[in-house]
């Protein structure tokens, strides 16, 4: 990664989700444990309307991690979630985590 803290965001990891209460913390923790500079790495979770408490967990992560963003996916499909995330980022590299 670039050592310049003023460099533009370089990596976005996008993760669609729906009702993942049982798994979302483990998935987020594993991605956030990377050695990437959090100023140049963002994690975009696109939720399709979870009703199982996933949104509460996601709110905790966004409160603790400035590089975690949660977007809504009113279309509820994985392909629509990916499009929502792609429209929301300007990173030079985009990775999927799903």
**What is the pairing mode between strands 93-96 and 41-47?**
unpaired
Q: Residue 1's pLDDT is what?
A: 47
- pLDDT for position 6: 63
Note the pLDDT of residue 98.
83
**Exposed (0-12), middle (13-18) or buried (19+): which is 39, by Cβ within 10 Å?**
middle
- Residue range 34-80, pLDDT digits in tens: 888 888 899 999 999 999 999 999 999 999 999 999 999 988 889 99
Whole-structure pTM value = 0.87
pLDDT tens for each residue of 83-97: 999 999 999 999 999
Of the candidates 38, 72, 42, the one whose C-alpha atom is nearest the C-alpha of residue 55 is 72
């Amino acid at each position: 990664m670039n050592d310049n803290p003023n460099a533009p965001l370089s990596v976005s990891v996008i993760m669609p989700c729906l009702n993942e209460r049982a798994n979302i913390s483990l998935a987020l923790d594993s991605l956030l444990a990377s050695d990437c500079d959090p100023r140049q790495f963002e994690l975009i979770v696109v939720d399709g309307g979870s009703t199982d408490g996933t949104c509460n967990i996601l709110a905790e992560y966004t409160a603790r991690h400035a590089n975690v963003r949660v977007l809504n996916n009113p279309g509820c499909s994985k392909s629509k979630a990916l499009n929502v995330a792609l429209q929301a980022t300007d990173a030079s590299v985009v990775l999927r985590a799903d």
